[in-house]
Amino acid sequence: MANSMAKSFLQVAATEEVVSPLRVVQIEGLVILKIIKHCKEFSPALVTGQLLGLDVGSVLEIREEDEEIEADGANYQLEMMRCLREVNVDNNTVGWYQSTILGSYQTVELIETFMNYQENIRRCVCIIYDPSRSNQGVLALKALKLSDSFMELYRANSFTGEKLREKNLSWMDIFEEIPIKVSNSALISAFMTELESDTPVTQCDYDRLQLSSNPYMERNMEFLIECMDDLSFQFYYRSLSRQQAQQQAWLQKRRADNMQRKAAGEDPLPEEDPSNPIFKPIPEPSRLESFLITNQIANYCNQINGVSGQSFNRLYLMKSLHDN
């Protein structure tokens, strides 16, 4: 009887250690408004801040946000968290938020920040807000986390083609986007219902009808061209093909010399010379930056595709209204 009870206790303890995957990020509406206000006030400068809340099962609840101050930011945040704790408000850090320009957030610095947070926080997220995209009538807010397979590979610091094939990791497997659920208390929901106007059209609807999308498209194209120029593997493959061509030319010359030496009765020279620089292998660069740039290129292409499709719809709508 005692053994069965001990066994059942061990089974329960083992099951409690299993961490359920993160499925939803639940954010209070007031926190979203604070994030938007902070990011828009300092736009186009990039800002960041901490997210405070609770980790409950498969849901990450975000109930407060803490803006970072440039001057003495660490002491300011500690003091703010102490004050929140004194008034019985959630002061557990569950991640951070940051603004971005045209979705250009996929950088090595973001991954390093994620890894630093992961050392102390079991599960953390980063809320990305894009003010420039939101000006097109879309709430550009997303929650991101690093995939477990990528974090394991990043800790090993081995981003070679062989390791990536072993892990079956592609450039799309770096980040995972978590669905965001906006929650409000019953009192706030009732208050918002009272404030809601009788007109069915809002300012966001008017923003969607803006016909001019040239500045947004042009900046996306400029960033896209810069990313194409930054792909390091293009230079690597060009250098590799140049080296292979030099090796073939040197090998043909050495074979011609050996034929002459053989005709003269001399011993042939070896067809490989390790001391020759053209036979030294070119080290393969890390694929991490290339993966991030490829991710960024895909993001710019999706944004251009979405905005251009909406622009065509608006133009056809205006043409129909003009014809009528």
Same domain for 160 and 31 = yes
- Which of residues 179, 208, 237 is at a domain's end? 208
123 within some domain: yes
In the predicted model, is pLDDT for residue 241 greater than 50? yes
31 within some domain: yes
> Which positions ≥6 away from 176 have C-beta within 8 Å?
144, 145, 146, 147
Same domain for 189 and 99 = yes
Which amino acid type is present at position 140?
Answer: A
1 within some domain: no
In the predicted model, is pLDDT for residue 134 greater than 60? yes
Tell me the HSE value of 278 on the side-chain side, using a 13 A CA sphere: 14
User: What is the rounded distance in angstroms from the CA atom of residue 192 to the CA atom of residue 258?
Assistant: 89
In the predicted model, is pLDDT for residue 102 greater than 60? yes
13 within some domain: no
8 within some domain: no
Element (H, E) at 291: helix 287-323
Cβ pair 111, 146 in contact under 8 A:
yes
Same domain for 157 and 104 = yes
Least trusted range by pLDDT, from 181-185, 217-221, 224-228, 312-316: 312-316
Average pLDDT, the chain: 77
What CATH number did the domain enclosing 120 receive? 3.40.140.10
- Around Cβ 213, how many Cβ atoms within 10 Å? 17
> Which positions ≥6 away from 130 have C-beta within 8 Å?
99, 100, 101, 102, 103, 140
Same domain for 276 and 217 = yes
174 within some domain: yes
Domain with 95, as residue range(s), is 18-208
- Which of residues 189, 208, 227 is at a domain's end? 208
Q: What is the mean pLDDT of residues 265-281?
A: 75
Q: Considering its fold, how many domains does the chain have in total?
A: 2
11 within some domain: no
Quote the percentage of the chain above a pLDDT of 90: 8
Residue among 107, 104, 175, 176 nearest 133 (CA): 104
Cβ pair 94, 125 in contact under 8 A:
yes
- Give, as one character, the DSSP assignment of residue 278: G
Same domain for 180 and 219 = no
Same domain for 164 and 214 = no
Same domain for 196 and 172 = yes
Same domain for 54 and 152 = yes
Q: What is the mean pLDDT of residues 102-118?
A: 86
Same domain for 231 and 159 = no
Same domain for 273 and 160 = no
Q: What is the mean pLDDT of residues 180-187?
A: 88
Same domain for 302 and 200 = no
Q: What is the mean pLDDT of residues 267-280?
A: 75
- Which of residues 142, 176, 208 is at a domain's end? 208
In the predicted model, is pLDDT for residue 144 greater than 80? yes
Model confidence pLDDT, tens digit, residues 7-36 = 454 454 444 455 678 889 999 888 999 999
Higher pLDDT residue, 32 or 67? 32
199 within some domain: yes
**Could you tell me if residue 177 is left (phi over 0), alpha (psi between -120 and 50 degrees) or otherwise beta?**
beta
> Which ranges of 161-286 would DSSP assign to H, the alpha helix?
161-167, 186-195, 203-208, 214-230, 232-263
pLDDT given for residue 76 in this prediction = 55
Higher pLDDT residue, 87 or 112? 112
pLDDT given for residue 68 in this prediction = 61
Same domain for 279 and 139 = no
Quote the percentage of the chain above a pLDDT of 70: 76
Cβ pair 154, 115 in contact under 8 A:
yes
Cβ pair 27, 181 in contact under 8 A:
yes
